[in-house]
């Protein structure tokens, strides 16, 4: 794309008449259809490439998985003798490694929280109990804005429902967007199958 074409795209030329508007819409629509046709052609060609290699890649993946299982079985059987206290081992340049995750909490969360909440707490002036310490250290209390309720209240015809929200600094802004949908007139040769050439 030359400099003149780039400047033409950057400069927004005003539309002077309805006829010019229709012409601009037609040009934009034609370009969109050509783009969509090119995307379809690209996707079709990419699918052919994927189909060509998918089977071989899947075969390789299966072979890698099989050999990795064999290697892990050997490592498990010889872990104490070959690894000792180490997590990894290098043999002929190949790295065999055990990795520990960061840990995962496994529990019925609702049941555990309920039990912690039910533990007795200290009275006024008394030292904290085990329950107090558990609640302080391991429970989170998070307050979030219920945006669905805010929107419902904002749409209410009752002004008194909206006013308390305004008083605390809330506002609801409905953004307006613009879109252009071209007339979907079929273009000759708009969809080109792989291996074919677009008709003139």
Clarify whether residues 20 and 78 are in a common domain.
yes
Q: Does some domain include residue 195?
A: no
Domain boundary residue among 66, 97, 128?
Answer: 97
In a domain, 72, yes or no: yes
- 73 & 35 share domain: yes
Residues of the chain under the 50 pLDDT cut: 187-188, 190-195, 197-200
Q: Which pairs with CB-CB distance under 8 Å and at least 24 residues apart come from 36-44? A: 36/190, 37/187, 37/190, 37/191, 37/192, 40/191, 41/191, 41/192, 41/193, 41/194, 44/193, 44/194
The verdict on residue 34 lying in a domain is: yes
Residues 63 and 83 in one domain: yes
Same domain? 87 vs 140 = no
- Whether 186 is covered by a domain: the verdict is no
Instruction: Give the tens place of pLDDT for each residue, 171-196.
Output: 999 899 999 888 876 544 544 444 45
Assigned domain for 185 exists: no
Domain count, the chain: 2
Alpha carbon distance 9, 31 (integer Å): 14
Q: Write down the pLDDT at residue 200.
A: 37
> Does a structural domain hold residue 33?
yes
What is the domain range of residue 132? 109-162
Query: Are 20 and 93 within one domain?
Result: yes
Residue 200 lies in a domain: no
Same domain, 93 and 114: no
Write down the mean pLDDT value for the chain.
88
Quote the pLDDT of residue 185: 62
CA distance 43 to 193: 10
Q: Is residue 116 part of a domain?
A: yes
């Amino acid at each position: 794309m030359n400099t003149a074409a780039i400047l033409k795209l950057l400069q927004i030329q005003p539309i002077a008449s309805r006829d010019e508007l229709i012409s601009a819409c037609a040009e934009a629509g034609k370009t969109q259809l050509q783009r969509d046709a090119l995307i379809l052609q690209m996707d079709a060609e990419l699918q052919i490439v994927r189909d060509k290699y998918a089977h071989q890649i899947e075969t390789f993946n299966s072979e890698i998985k099989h050999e990795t299982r064999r290697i892990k079985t050997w490592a498990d059987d010889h872990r104490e003798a070959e690894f000792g206290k180490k997590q990894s081992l290098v043999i002929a340049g190949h790295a065999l490694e055990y990795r520990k995750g960061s840990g995962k909490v496994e529990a019925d969360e609702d049941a555990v929280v309920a039990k912690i909440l039910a533990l007795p707490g200290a009275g006024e002036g008394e030292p904290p109990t085990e329950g107090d310490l558990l609640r302080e250290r391991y429970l989170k209390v998070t307050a979030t804005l219920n945006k669905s309720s805010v929107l419902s209240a904002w749409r209410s015809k009752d002004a008194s429902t909206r006013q308390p929200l305004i008083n605390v600094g809330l506002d609801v802004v409905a953004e307006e967007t613009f879109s252009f949908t071209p007339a979907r007139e079929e273009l000759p040769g708009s969809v080109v199958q792989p291996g074919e050439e677009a008709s003139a």
